[in-house]
Amino acid sequence: MKITIVGPGAMGCLLAAFLSKSKEEIWLLDKNPERAKKIKEQGIKVEGISGNWQAKVNVSADAQEISTQDLIIIAVKSYDTKDAVKNIKPMLGESTLVLSLQNGLGNTEIISELTGQERTMGGITNQAATLLDTGCVRHAGRGETVFGRMDGKISAELRSIRELFNKAGLEARISKDIKAILWSKLIINVAINALTAITRLNNGRLIEFDTSRKILEEAVNEAVKVAKKKRIKLIYDDPLSKAEAVCEATANNVSSMLQDVLKQRRTEIDFINAAVVRHAQSLGIPTPVNTVLTNLVKTIEASYSLRVG
């Protein structure tokens, strides 16, 4: 099986490093030629809960060099999905599957515009990783990776991918209802990401204060109302309790959105809280808390150069 991971961020590097343990042909596609060259020369360095180790991976900034692939995993920031999809065209064959392992909603729709729904897969991963430097990643937490085709069909190809992930040390399973998985993960991100980015608190601190805990609760409740209206069956019986449990389990974690704010980068707010607001508007559901969270994060993004202190 020929597999390319698109995006040399924390998750892209972690996936490439683990999958390189297999006997399959694994590539990492980077849009930056200089960075690609560096990773190719030094390999990917992993530290953390899986130990300290290094993986040699095929790396390129030219999709033409990689040629047709069996599986392409999109691991870029959600706002880069459209550009990433344009770049993978030379790697698409008649049976190539494209898997999004990204935050938020809307990525699979962008991908399927090029590949078609029958070849598009959505997914989530509960592996936790932090990029320390170019090609250097800290493996901070283990968790399962769940994926599935948007049309719900389970094929032999999907089973082969699941087997490959599991053999490489990445616990994986297939879902027939990937929309439920994506929305369930979205609600956790809705609870944590924007609020941590605004308050600059670690995940666990959000539930230590009655005020931030109340905002978290209201943001979750709004998202759950939207999901129910869309008849999406969430995988958690009590999404709020699940979100609070995730805060506890990842108490010391710096959320990806907070990391972006601290580094004065663009965030994925448009694909998380703002996505809830967009879906809610089309359904006539008010979402005042998610609207305020979205607007505050967008204000922070727009005012990086104007901040005091």
Which positions are annotated as active-site residues?
185
Pairing of strands 172-174, 53-55: unpaired
| H/E segment holding residue 32 | none
- Distance CA(138)–CA(132), nearest Å, equals 7
Give bridge partners of residue 10 from the DSSP assignment.
Answer: none
- Distance CA(90)–CA(69), nearest Å, equals 9
Sheet with 97-100: list strands edge to edge: 58-60, 25-29, 2-6, 71-74, 97-100, 120-125, 145-149, 172-174
- Please, where are the H alpha helices in 27-167? 33-42, 63-66, 81-87, 107-115, 156-167
Pairing of strands 53-55, 120-125: unpaired
Using DSSP's 3-state secondary structure scheme, residue 5 falls into strand
**Residue 232 backbone dihedrals phi, psi, to 5 degrees:** -95, 125
| H/E segment holding residue 301 | helix 288-302
Closest alpha carbon to 88 in 111, 116, 58, 109: 111
Closest alpha carbon to 126 in 170, 73, 72: 170
Residues 6+ apart with CB under 8 A from 185: 103, 124
Q: What angle do CA 19, 147, 106 make, to 5 degrees?
A: 110
